[in-house]
């Protein structure tokens, strides 16, 4: 029974790490990253459609994203959708493609982005600790119901703490890597 609790908790912690990585993909470094456009939805024939399904997105230069819709008649719609996505990006429509230029980050902006990354990391760690608390509560309930012994409760609690430490270190490592990317000139 405790193994089910452990496996479910580990799965939840993995999902927390995935969510943390996707949040970080939206934090802009000095380079253009097409992932920043993942949430952009374009009205295409009356249906909201993800941008990457109706256009090719490429990075021809380190600080430029180029969006080439498969249907040129929707250039204005794509431009409007990027504005509405509130990503603080300025799309430039030349009639064939849309270009988005990423200006170089200032030192102050880099420091703000690092603070944002640390905030996301702290939120991920809080989620992991909440999962730990749920797991420990479930194991304590098993002990209270007489399904496991007090010694087994201690062993399971230690095992859960080691899992939590592993995932917390993982969050720290991912955040540190992102900070290095942000501070890189």
Cα separation, 37 vs 44, in Å, equals 16
Quote the pLDDT of residue 89. Answer: 80
Quote the pLDDT of residue 30. Answer: 66
Quote the pLDDT of residue 71. Answer: 87
CB proximity list for 91: less than 8 A, separation 6 or greater: 67, 78, 79, 82, 83, 98, 99, 100
Quote the pLDDT of residue 177. Answer: 92
Cα separation, 36 vs 85, in Å, equals 10
CA distances from 121 to 10, 14, 143, 164, 167 (A): 18, 14, 33, 14, 11
Cα separation, 110 vs 181, in Å, equals 10
Domains of the chain, CATH where assigned: 2-26+106-183 (1.10.132.20), 34-101 (3.30.1360.40)
Question: Can you tell me which residue has the tokens 């994203």?
Answer: 65
List average pLDDT for each run of 10 residues in the chain, which is 185 residues long: 86 95 79 81 88 90 88 88 82 89 81 91 96 94 89 92 96 94 79
Quote the pLDDT of residue 185. Answer: 64
Question: Can you tell me which residue has the tokens 């030349």?
Answer: 94
């Amino acid at each position: 029974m405790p193994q089910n609790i452990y496996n479910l908790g580990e799965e939840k912690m993995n999902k927390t790490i995935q969510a943390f990585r996707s949040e970080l993909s939206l934090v802009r470094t000095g380079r253009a990253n097409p992932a920043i456009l993942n949430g952009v939805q374009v009205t295409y024939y009356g249906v909201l459609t993800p941008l990457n399904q109706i256009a090719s997105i490429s990075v021809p230069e380190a600080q430029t994203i180029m969006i080439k819709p498969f249907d040129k008649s929707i250039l204005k719609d794509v431009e409007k959708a990027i504005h509405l996505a509130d990503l603080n990006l300025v799309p430039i429509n030349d009639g064939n493609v849309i270009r988005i230029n990423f200006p170089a980050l200032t030192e102050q902006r880099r420091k703000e982005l690092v603070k944002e990354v640390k905030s996301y990391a702290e939120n991920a760690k809080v989620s992991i600790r909440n999962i730990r608390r749920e797991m420990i509560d479930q194991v304590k309930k098993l002990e209270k119901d007489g399904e496991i012994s007090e010694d087994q409760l201690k062993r399971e609690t230690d095992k859960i703490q080691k899992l939590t430490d592993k995932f917390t270190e993982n969050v720290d490592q991912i955040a540190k890597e992102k900070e290095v990317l942000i501070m890189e000139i």
